[in-house]
Structure 1
Amino acid sequence: MSWRSLSGSASINRPRQEAPITSSLFNPEAFSGKVAFVSGAASGIGAATALRLADLGARLVLADWDKTRLDAFVETIGSDDVLALHVDVTTTASVEEAIASAIGHFGGLDLAVNSAGIDMPRCETASYPSEQWDRIIAVNMTGVFNAVRHQIPAMLARGGGSIVNVSSVMGFRGFAGQPAYTAAKHGVIGLTKTAALDHAAQGIRINAVAPGFIDTPLLSHLSEENRQAAAALHPMQRVGQPGEITNVILFLLSDAGSFVTGACFDADGGYLAK
């Protein structure tokens, strides 16, 4: 069926003006003046994203449970526009206070990357410790809800904004011995889609990214044999680097992704294509 047969005319429903092509991702000040909140900012994907946002002119609100490690990381950024906060994402009051601090310090909030997450030893579902389940769900899923819940009103006050939640390939597939992590990452994708629908007409874009196995502290406990096994799960035959996920996150945050919301972008070396 052609466009002409759908519209009755090739020109009647043609947009009056195409959206301008933006070079924002390649602009050295793409996020200049924007206030960006990043959780899990002391290491891994969060740290890599914070560094690139700083390079591109953003003012940063960096949150992490490990304040000592966060403070050491902030010293490497080389920017004065950074507010470093100890935040427990599992506690709504802690997240609410952090967002209020961002507004008080910088005047508002424009961007957010929710990347705080933890992993724990693998264990079959029938014997999975309930306290381990509770902890992973609290950090990896409820923590994202707490963040989004308080980020959205702050962005509405600015007339719009963009949020990226970090899920995982395990948000699409099962993984033996990881019932809590897998459930939490599935939940992050569902939350992302629902929140995006709720606020799409209000200028808030909410998306997710699903990394494969990435060379972050979450993999630090693996033996060399297990690291090689993790790499072999990807058709590219390697694990990813944090900066490779950051590139996807920056697209979703930027005006280059202006018509993207409720999406989850795979960045997984082909893992989910199998």
Structure 2
Amino acid sequence: MMQDKAGIVTGGASGMGEAVVERLLREGASVVAMDRDGAGLAALSARIGCDRLVTVEGDVSSEALGDTLIEKCAASFGNVRYLVNCAGITSPFTAFGDVTLKDFDVVNSVNLRGTFLTMRAAINHMRDHGGGSIVNISSTAGIRPMLQVIPYTASKWGVVGITLAAALENASAGIRVNVVCPGIVDTPMYRRVAMEYGAGVIDLTPMKRIGTSAEIANAVSWLVSDEASFVTGLVMPVDGGLALT
């Protein structure tokens, strides 16, 4: 589905981002995988061993990174047809009144600011080069309330909001912008949360299981591809029914 298309995946060294990188490569795409985990990127490159993959170590909250990623992708592969924003962190379980400004700012600097910055760079490029597809990763916490993770919830609602605004503003330029909202998915982040929240977290999902990163990558791959060519502004839960509760 993605033959001859190149683009960027943030948070590509592990979890959902890694699964998205692998899926897009299987579909024939070229990928610039970005992450702050340089060792993880090196391991990814060594394991995959593909000339359609290049990596960039960086911090998505840095204003300069978006342009750097666009330049790297265009120089390496000749085009930038898609962006997938997977980079994200969570916040500690804390009652609203006890949330610190530091925790709020740190989480939002990655999840919301980082998503905005890479989107801005990609949109500016895509408007001048025939359009493209952007897929952001939010969370079920971005479409329904989630207890005691206020910074995370705020950031993920923000991701949904800027996705919809960008989709409306850029549709006439041939730029599609959609957002996937995972529920409870087996990633390194989930494993840390599960230790704090307890095994009962699985029971929150109507399907009574957690998802896999590959299941998220399946949805992302479709939205990025031309098979979703008439789809923009979609808020897609991939969550085993969690958003229904």
> With structure 1 as the length reference, what TM-score do the two structures score?
0.86
State the partner residue of 1:255: 226
Q: Which of 75, 79, 94 in structure 1 is aligned with 2:65?
A: 94
SS in 2 for 1:75: helix
Q: Which structure is higher in RCO with an 8 Å CA cutoff and minimum separation 6?
A: 2
Quote how far apart the aligned CAs of 1:158 are.
2.6
SS in 1 for 2:145: coil
Q: Which of 197, 207, 216 in structure 1 is aligned with 2:168?
A: 197
1:131-152 CA deviation, whole Å, 9 max, x = no partner? 1110000000111000100011
Q: Taking structure 1 as reference, are residues 251 and 179 closer, same or farther at Cα in structure 2, changes over 3 Å only?
A: same
State the partner residue of 2:236: 265
Q: Gapped runs of 5+ residues in structure 1?
A: 1-29
Q: Counterparts of 1:53-132 in structure 2 under 5 Å?
A: 53-132=24-103
Quote how far apart the aligned CAs of 1:257 are.
0.9
Q: Which has the higher helix share?
A: 2
Cα RMSD (Å): 1.4
Q: Does 1:149 align with 2:106?
A: no
Aligned AA (1:233): L
Structure 1, 163-172 or 251-260: larger mean CA deviation = 251-260
Structure 2: distance between partners of 1:166 and 1:127: 27
Structure 2: distance between partners of 1:209 and 1:78: 28
> With structure 2 as the length reference, what TM-score do the two structures score?
0.96
State the partner residue of 1:9: none
Q: Counterparts of 1:118-267 in structure 2 under 5 Å?
A: 118-222=89-193, 226=197, 228-267=199-238
**Bigger CA radius of gyration:** 1
The number of residues matched between the two structures is 245
Q: Does 1:47 align with 2:18?
A: yes
1:236-271 CA deviation, whole Å, 9 max, x = no partner? 001110000111111111111111101110101000
Structure 2: distance between partners of 1:200 and 1:93: 26
Structure 1: distance between partners of 2:56 and 2:150: 31
Q: Taking structure 1 as reference, are residues 180 and 224 closer, same or farther at Cα in structure 2, changes over 3 Å only?
A: closer
